[in-house]
Amino acid sequence: MYQDEKLVCEDCGAEFVFTAGEQEFYAEKGLVNKPKRCPECRKKRRQNNRKHRRMYEAVCSKCGAQTQVPFKPIAGKEVFCKECFTKNQEEATAE
């Protein structure tokens, strides 16, 4: 159904392959636009966006450690440090 397609990155001008598997994934997620950037430029763009993300001080609901989170904590809602969040995710997937 899907076939590999060559595209050109709008940032660096490099040619990259939009694989049949990637096309299928995009379709499953309801994404209709083809990627405009090569995988390397997409990765750089995500990393750059993360550098400029505002972080908020919080206290982990599980272990009590001081931590920073990328969202404004809401009173009454649990907030976890990275370690406790990862542990909760692992426990949830193991069930």
Q: For residues 68 and 45, what is the distance between their CA atoms, to the nearest angstrom?
A: 22
Q: Is the same domain home to 20 and 41?
A: yes
Q: Is the same domain home to 67 and 83?
A: yes
| Average pLDDT over every residue of 83-92 | 89
Residue, of 65 and 92, whose pLDDT is higher: 65
Residue finishing a domain among 35, 51, 67? 51
Q: What residue numbers bound the domain in which 37 lies? A: 5-51
Q: Is the same domain home to 33 and 47?
A: yes
Q: Is the same domain home to 67 and 43?
A: no
Per-residue pLDDT tens over the stretch 15-71:
999 999 999 999 999 999 999 999 999 999 998 887 888 899 999 999 999 999 989
As for how many domains the chain has, the answer is: 2
| Average pLDDT over every residue of 4-19 | 97
Measuring CA to CA, which residue among 3, 32, 28 is closest to residue 18? 3
SS (H, E, C) the chain: CCCCEEEECCCCCCEEEECHHHHHHHHHCCCCCCCCCCHHHHHHHHHHHHHCCCCEEEECCCCCCEEEECCCCCCCCCCCCHHHHHHHHHHHHHC
Can you give the pLDDT at residue 50? 79
Q: Is the same domain home to 47 and 70?
A: no
Q: Is the same domain home to 17 and 45?
A: yes
6 backbone dihedrals φ, ψ, rounded to 5°: -85, 130
Asked if the model's pLDDT at residue 9 lies above 90, the reply is: yes
